[in-house]
A and B are shown apart, each in its own frame.
Chain A
Amino acid sequence: MLAYTLRRFLGLLPALFVIITVSFFLVRLAPGGPFDQERTLPPQVRANLDRVYGLDQPLALQYVHYLSRLVRGDLGPSFKLPDFSVSELIVAGLPVSATLGGLALLLALLLGIPLGVAAALWHGRPADFGIAGFVALAVALPSFVTGPLLALIFGLYLHWLPVGGWEEGSPRYLILPVLTLGLPVAAYVARLTRGGLLEVLRSNHIRTARARGLGEARILLRHALRPALLPVVSYLGPAAAFVVTGSLVVETVFALPGTGRYLVQGAINRDYTLVMGMIVVYGVLTLLLNFAADVMYGWLDPRVRHD
């Protein structure tokens, strides 16, 4: 198990390196720069700016400098918001984003697994079809459609919840964003749970358990659920990636002060360090969550440790 975990972890490093390298050069080779404005700067001012930020050096050298600073945990200064370092901006927004993402994943599991179990137990009955309809809808619709529609219904018409915005310590502002982000994941989890459970319930060891006279509840909880949830666990990695990127949209839709806006804003402004900082932080996050899901899978299903 330890060797498996270690091997998985070491596999992350090349992936991270490729992410950083590819995006560094992509961002830099794109036309335009952070100091392009309507009014062109006097050449001396421009030269000074370039020198301060190291933009006058060859690109390869800038890359080496960026990497060496990154290793020490320094994401550099923001080009467009000169009073802040990229780390400060991201650290300020991360609690909101992390709360949103964490709650959405939690909702996905707490809602999706019971729904899936219910659908499997009532296989072929009206409840199953009802759940299947919800799943089809929630999986197909993107958050930038469901988000505004939820805000329209629950915010503007029913006045139950705020349409958007944020107030420190007030969970009301989180309900709609968490629903928007979490429901598609919950639906997918429900679909996987249902499929997995139906298959397991038909298998031999469940028939044996029934033959030995065990109660249905005990069969479900002790014998069926664990193997049935394996597909859900292997979906957790992609789900985490979905939540991480999905939070970008949801934060935009509901005007939450998370980190999501920095990526689009930074890309439009050619704020090189801010874009790179976002990619590094979110890339590391996605990779780590994927890794956690892999390890969990290896722990639940010993067969994959020896691949």
Chain B
Amino acid sequence: MIEISSQPLWRRAGRRFCGDGKALVAGVLVALIALLAIVGPSLSPFRYDALDWHHLAVPPQLQSSHWLGTDRLGRDLFVRTLYGVRISLVIGLLATAVSVIIGLAWGSIAGYVGGRTDDLMMRFVDVLYALPYLFLVIIFATFFGRGNLIGLFLVIGAVGWLTTARIVRGQTLALKRREFIEAARATGVGTPGILLRHVIPNLIGPVALYATLTIPDMILFESFLSFLGLGVQEPLASLGSLINGGAQEMQAAPWMLVVPALVLSVLLLCFNLIGDGLRDALDPSTSAER
């Protein structure tokens, strides 16, 4: 891992990131999509679950009020897709937060306490790494999270913390030997105090970077579960459940598949480009080849 502590590195990284055209465009695009998801539904006269019996499965038309068409029940696809983006983004962010909190706690305790505890805790992480974790997500989600949004992001976050924990542990090991930690210990601060006041605040930088890389994975998990029918349930919409619905109707109403599929594709592609850009900006040694 890279050591990220000094201010100039951040400033240089910021400049490098802004000089990376692809990543910058991707960032702007994500911001636009998010903005559209927030204000867009109120521009349309339809609610996400309102049935329009006079316009069942109509294709996209810019002149009519159903800009992106409707589904088989006459629900407006423009509004539903934007609702899907909302849910995907919110669950992605919350799940990332959950995974960061677990990873931060787990990694910093393992790294700081060290010894047997460290061995045991990190061996546990290794074993979980070897698991086909999508299986665990599926099981967790069916049993605890079906149709329950809170359960859903907890479940997704609960499987995403492993890499964060590893990164945090590595950084903690390096921090542990620094003088200010030693000074804190010498003045009699307890382990929880040192962790909360001295270790974790110094880990925020690398963790924040890794968290941005995690967001697309979390969005992917959510839409994957919803695609399988295990995540967001009707009448709510998520990009995954819309794609699933569209895949079943693609013969009669291909736009039902194409619209949410394109939106999710653009979103994921942009997040990936942002992630690549951030990595390159902070660690220029890898950027020569990419």
Contact = CB atoms under 8 A, between A and B. Distances in A.
B161 to A, nearest CB: 15
A286 B268 contact: no
B250 A151 contact: yes
Interface string A264-299: 100110000001001100110011001000000000
Nearest to B146: A268
Interface size on B, as a range, is 35 or more
Interface string B138-157: 11101110000000000000
Residue of B127, B144, B223, B290 most packed against chain A (CB within 10 A): B127
Interface string B270-283: 00110000000000
B114 interface: no
Interface stretch (B33-41, B128-136, B175-183): B128-136
B257 A152 contact: yes
A230 to B, nearest CB: 15
A141 B162 CA distance: 23
B258 interface: yes
Interface string A211-232: 0000000000000000000000
Contacts of B220: 142
A241 interface: yes
A30 B254 contact: no
B240 interface: yes
A245 B131 contact: no
Contact of A264 (B140, B228, B246): B228
Contacts of B223: 142, 144
A26 B134 contact: no
Nearest to A238: B129
Which secondary structure dominates chain B's binding surface? Answer: helix
A209 interface: no
B251 interface: yes
Contacts of B136: 22-23, 26
A148 B127 contact: no
A113 to B, nearest CB: 17
A4 B238 CA distance: 47
Contacts of B79: none
A245 B135 CA distance: 7
A279 B51 CA distance: 41
Which secondary structure dominates chain A's binding surface? Answer: helix
A126 interface: no
Interface in A1-38: 14-15, 18-19, 22-23, 26-27, 30-32
A31 B272 contact: no
A26 B143 CA distance: 9
A244 interface: yes
B253 to A, nearest CB: 11
B251 A282 contact: no
B241 to A, nearest CB: 11
B230 interface: yes
Residue of B142, B244, B251, B289 most packed against chain A (CB within 10 A): B142
Contact of A148 (B130, B139, B229, B243): B243
B264 interface: yes
Contact of B127 (A14, A27, A245, A279): A14
Given A148-B243, A249-B228, A263-B138, A15 B272 contact: no
Nearest to A17: B127
Nearest to A151: B250
A152 B257 CA distance: 9
B113 interface: no
Contacts of A248: 134, 138
Nearest to A144: B227
B272 A148 contact: no
29 contacts: A14-B127, A18-B127, A19-B130, A19-B131, A26-B139, A27-B143, A30-B143, A136-B273, A141-B268, A142-B220, A142-B264, A144-B240, A145-B264, A147-B247, A148-B243, A149-B258, A151-B250, A194-B289, A195-B289, A245-B132, A249-B227, A252-B228, A263-B135, A264-B142, A267-B230, A275-B139, A279-B132, A282-B132, A282-B135
The 4 closest A-B pairs by CB, nearest first: A30-B143, A267-B142, A148-B247, A245-B134
